[in-house]
Structure 1
Amino acid sequence: MITDAFVHNVFFWLKNPADTATFVEGVKGLANIKHLRDVHVGVPVPSDKPIIESSYHVSLLTIFNSVEDHDLYQVDPIHEDFLANYVKQYVERVMVTDSVDA
């Protein structure tokens, strides 16, 4: 169980799904940001269950020790480079959820 964490989930819908592999490589580069506790980059599992959201192309789950670490991640040059060189070029839609321990 993950405890004492700030969890940041990002779901990306790409302009062109054929760019998924290139975009995934860009997302994986975010793992080099020192403020992260853990990171997972994924793609949806095909499902015919209506409750499962699988229309996105790439997901990013990041875990931080604190909201302060998350805030430092947001302004890290690696993250800013990702926004400028991947998100602006490849992404049509983004959904973000943040959560802390209940």
Structure 2
Amino acid sequence: MKTIKRRSFLANVAITSALATVTLPSEAKPKDKKFVHHVYFWLKNPSNEADRTKLIEGLTTLSKVPTIRFHHIGVPASTNRSVIDRSYSVSWMLFFDNLEQEEVYQTHPIHLKFIADYSHLWEKVTVYDSEQV
């Protein structure tokens, strides 16, 4: 049997203990998982550029909610394949640190004001939420 010196043994125990406390990204706790909130709007008057511009203006204001880490406002791209849905008018994609931050966004006064001020513009909204794996 090989003899291990006390100093080497203690060093190995310290390294093993340190590694045991490291959390790898794939082991993220649920509250640490990034959260994406992607909203698609169908305008009541899809050919009305003023309505689309007004909605985009409202989304720009909505982007001031402090829990939003990144946002993207978009319109259908010119791509055309059988799997692409281009029927929506405007998309709104948000990135949050976690689900709890998205829930703050949902009840934030800026978000509630956005709904009150701009909901008359759309006839349909579809939301796709996803959490990081």
Superposition TM-score, scaled by structure 1 size: 0.91
- Match of 2:37, as an amino acid? H
Identity %: 39
- Match of 1:13, as an amino acid? W
**Structure 1 consecutive aligned stretches of length 4 or more whose deviation exceeds 2 Å:** none
1:94 pairs with 2:125: yes
- 1:31 is matched with 63
* Map 1:35-50 → 2, pairs under 5 A: 35-50=67-82
1:7 pairs with 2:7: no
- Match of 2:96, as an amino acid? F
- Match of 2:127, as an amino acid? V
* 3-state SS, counterpart of residue 129 of structure 2: strand
* 3-state SS, counterpart of residue 32 of structure 1: coil
- 1:58 is matched with 90
Rounded Cα–Cα distance in structure 2 between residues aligned with 1:93 and 1:46: 22
- 2:107 is matched with 75
Rounded Cα–Cα distance in structure 1 between residues aligned with 2:130 and 2:54: 28
Which structure has more strand as a fraction of its residues?
1
* 3-state SS, counterpart of residue 46 of structure 1: coil
Superposition TM-score, scaled by structure 2 size: 0.71
Q: Where in structure 1 are there 5+ consecutive unaligned residues?
A: none
